[in-house]
């Protein structure tokens, strides 16, 4: 069982284990050693690309990581502030041995993280992360102190432009003519790319793009903005009478939307409209979509009406992707806005998702509201409970009893999904039911049991 890596890399409070300088240096050393055998076959040292989001701790972490990588025999290139999916794309397109993103995605500014991608642009499998983790612990047990961290390499601006060209090439016929859209960059990595991207799309001036939360200061990332707070962009849409709104998380690997009425459009709705569009063009492989255990039963019902099968994977876009690769599915994603278009991207990409949704709206001549009108969702509630530890929940009698009671009561009319967050010290209680009172009753009962037994 992994101790450092969660569902999306290593994450924690910047400056504290596992994001203290000694551990970060050990991560660099271990990754460089892991990459050496593959690189030695070509007679070269491993080449690693590093990108980061806008947190004030990101540069220091990148510098320390660079020190470990170079001490381990790797060469490092910096893409500067850039999105997570951009690093995945560039790692594959430019044949790097690995890509690294310094980001804690949707977490607050004081957190940070380290995400790893292989030379194929995919997140590393659990088995590889476990092997790297074992070496990290070996380095930490060594009495040898880490060397001083050098400055990170000069930023290669060509990387950002290359990714921008890739995005624009995905929607060659897209036009913003006659459309006003609002784009919330979450004061994160999207701030470095979205302004130029949407300016290019609107180069003839036929539309209007209103950018918000695109002035990062190191501490305002995700702060009452972005995909964690989609109601903010929804209000901006109605305020400006815009056609739709787009909002990203801190590293822009996911996107949520708002339609012209100010209604939030989540990842389930995006999966529905994308699946129907791909199916109509004969591009939805096996007529299958991969969602997660958190996706609403209403999505499953709407897809079924369109003769599209829905599979469920564990939460985490890497697990969605694993099931997509195993089944040959060309579309998958999460309710939270991670959407994966196989053949276009190797990971969730918020900017790509935004462009493809705009493209469907443009080609169909329909509004976002019209495209998602028949998605009737079951009432759903998610209660997050801070926990001090993450033991198996079925081994704690009071918690297991509360979960069992909910499952019995909702067996024919709802779902119960209880899981630990892979990136935070939280237990997530998700209840979905036809009866809203029953939903809240069981969610509160399970959350109370967890709080009593494991609460901080």
Number of other CB atoms surrounding residue 449 within 10 Å: 22
Q: Are 249 and 105 in contact (CB under 8 A)?
A: yes
Of the candidates 111, 103, 105, the residue with the CA atom closest to the CA atom of residue 16: 111
d(CA 225, CA 250): 10
Burial zone of 37 (CB within 10 Å; 0-12 exposed, 13-18 middle, 19+ buried): exposed
Strands 380-386 and 426-433, bridge-based pairing? antiparallel
- Two tokens at 76? 């490092």
Distances (CA, A) of 31 to 74, 83, 226: 9, 21, 32
For residue 105, indicate whether it is catalytic: yes
Distances (CA, A) of 379 to 16, 196, 301, 427, 438: 39, 39, 14, 20, 10
Q: Which of 57, 105, 295, 421 is catalytic?
A: 105
d(CA 87, CA 192): 13
DSSP of 413-436: TEEEEEEE-SSSSEEEEEEEES-H
Of the candidates 175, 196, 172, 1, the residue with the CA atom closest to the CA atom of residue 82: 196
- Two tokens at 46? 């491993």
Active site residues: 105
């Amino acid at each position: 069982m992994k101790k450092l890596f969660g569902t999306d890399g290593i994450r924690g409070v910047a400056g504290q284990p596992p994001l203290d300088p000694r551990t970060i240096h050990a991560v660099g050393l271990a990754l460089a050693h892991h990459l050496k055998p593959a690189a030695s076959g070509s007679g070269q040292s491993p080449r690693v690309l590093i990108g980061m989001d806008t947190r004030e701790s990101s540069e220091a972490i990148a510098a320390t990581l660079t020190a470990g990588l170079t001490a381990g025999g790797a060469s490092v290139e910096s893409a500067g502030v850039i999105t997570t999916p951009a690093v995945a794309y560039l790692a594959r397109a430019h044949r790097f041995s690995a890509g690294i993103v310094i980001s804690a995605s949707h977490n607050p500014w004081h957190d940070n993280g380290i995400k790893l991608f292989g030379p194929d642009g995919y997140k590393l499998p659990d088995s590889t992360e476990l092997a790297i983790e074992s070496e990290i612990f070996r380095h930490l047990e060594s009495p040898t102190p880490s060397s001083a961290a050098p400055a990170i390499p000069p930023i290669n601006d060509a990387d950002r432009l290359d990714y921008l060209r890739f995005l624009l090439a995905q929607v060659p016929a897209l036009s913003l003519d006659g459309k006003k859209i609002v784009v919330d960059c979450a004061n994160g990595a999207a701030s470095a790319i979205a302004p130029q991207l949407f300016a290019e799309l609107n180069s003839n001036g036929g539309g209007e793009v209103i950018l918000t939360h695109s002035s990062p200061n190191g501490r305002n990332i995700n702060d009452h903005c972005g995909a964690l707070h989609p109601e903010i962009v929804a209000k901006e849409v109605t305020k400006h009478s815009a056609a739709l709104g787009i909002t990203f998380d801190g590293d822009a690997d996911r996107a949520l939307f708002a339609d012209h009425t100010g209604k939030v459009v989540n990842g389930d709705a995006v999966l529905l409209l994308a699946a129907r569009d791909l199916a109509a063009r004969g591009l939805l492989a096996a007529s299958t979509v991969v969602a997660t255990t958190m996706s609403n039963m209403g999505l499953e019902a709407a897809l079924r009406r369109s003769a599209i099968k829905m599979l469920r994977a564990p939460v985490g876009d890497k697990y969605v992707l694993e099931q997509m690769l195993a089944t040959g599915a060309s579309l998958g994603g999460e309710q939270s806005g991670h959407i994966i278009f196989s053949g276009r991207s190797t990971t969730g990409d918020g900017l790509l998702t935004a462009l493809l949704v705009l493209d469907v709206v443009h080609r169909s001549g329909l509004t976002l509201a019209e495209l998602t009108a028949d998605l009737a969702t079951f009432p759903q509630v998610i209660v997050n409970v801070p926990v001090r530890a993450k033991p198996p929940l079925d081994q704690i009698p009071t918690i297991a009893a509360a979960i069992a009671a909910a499952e019995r009561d909702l067996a024919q009319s709802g779902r119960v999904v209880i899981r630990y967050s892979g990136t935070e010290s939280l237990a997530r209680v998700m209840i979905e039911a036809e009866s809203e009172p029953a939903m809240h009753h069981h969610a509160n009962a399970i959350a109370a049991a967890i709080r009593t037994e494991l609460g901080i």
